[in-house]
């Protein structure tokens, strides 16, 4: 994630699992070649069972997080039910497309669980929307992450296995991409809720993979 160029910093990952969705990122924030923060937040909870990853301009991304979170809350208040993951992604796509001449410099993923199914969407700076049915990555470390996920992903993967795959993919990206680094942030979203995997658990799994 960078304040300068939305293609030159970060690695964010989304994995569709049979029982939910895994969202993951590292925590390095850069300005060009300068590491401006080692504790950047790149995964946000939008609703009870919906999360969003951000890459790109920090201010643009945070503004969109605030906007879409409020819209989701207002919809729930008015309709008495939550917006679907697809509806949130479409609304965000419309916002981005409506500002395409003065675009938000972002790459985003919206993932969650509704209607007893996992959903994951990728969005670009001008509102292009793709429903992802497997696993995907964004940011400068994404080519490395893709290589790991292509090799190990299965459509029958569980959320627990998805967390392990995200750790493998992020570890590889952080070793080779200078704009990706420091800590890992991982969220798993299932019918039971939105759960952030704690740092101790991530470190334990990383150590196990290294042996």
Q: What is the DSSP pairing of strand 106-114 with strand 50-56?
A: antiparallel
The one catalytic residue in 10, 11, 12, 136 is 10
The number of CA neighbours under 13 Å toward the Cβ of 191 is: 6
User: Look-up: residue for tokens 């989701």?
Assistant: 72
The pair of three-digit structure tokens given for residue 1, joined into one six-digit string: 């994630």
Residue given tokens 């950047």 in the structure block: 40
Taking CA 54 as the corner, what is the angle to CA 51 and CA 57, rounded to the nearest 5 degrees?
150
Rounded to whole angstroms, how far apart are CA atoms 108 and 53?
6
| 10 included as an active-site residue | yes
- Please say whether the beta carbons of 189 and 148 come within 8 A: no
Catalytic residue numbers read 10
């Amino acid at each position: 994630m960078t304040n300068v160029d939305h293609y030159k910093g970060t690695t964010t990952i989304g994995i569709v699992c049979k029982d939910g969705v895994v969202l993951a990122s590292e925590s390095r924030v850069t300005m060009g070649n300068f590491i401006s923060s080692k504790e950047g937040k790149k995964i946000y909870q939008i609703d009870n069972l919906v999360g969003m990853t951000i890459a790109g301009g920090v201010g643009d991304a945070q503004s969109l997080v605030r906007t879409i979170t409020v819209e989701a809350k207002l919809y729930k208040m008015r309709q008495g039910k939550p917006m679907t993951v697809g509806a949130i992604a479409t609304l965000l796509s419309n916002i981005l497309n409506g500002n395409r001449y003065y675009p938000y410099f972002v790459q985003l993923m919206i993932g969650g669980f509704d209607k007893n199914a996992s959903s994951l969407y990728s969005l670009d700076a001008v509102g292009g929307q793709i429903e992802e049915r497997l696993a995907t990555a964004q940011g400068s470390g994404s080519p490395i992450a893709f290589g790991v996920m292509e090799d190990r992903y299965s459509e029958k993967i569980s959320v627990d296995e998805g967390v392990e795959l995200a750790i493998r993919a992020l570890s590889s990206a952080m070793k080779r991409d200078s704009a990706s680094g420091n800590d890992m942030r991982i969220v798993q979203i299932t019918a039971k809720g939105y759960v952030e995997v704690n740092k101790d658990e991530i470190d334990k799994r990383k150590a196990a993979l290294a042996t």
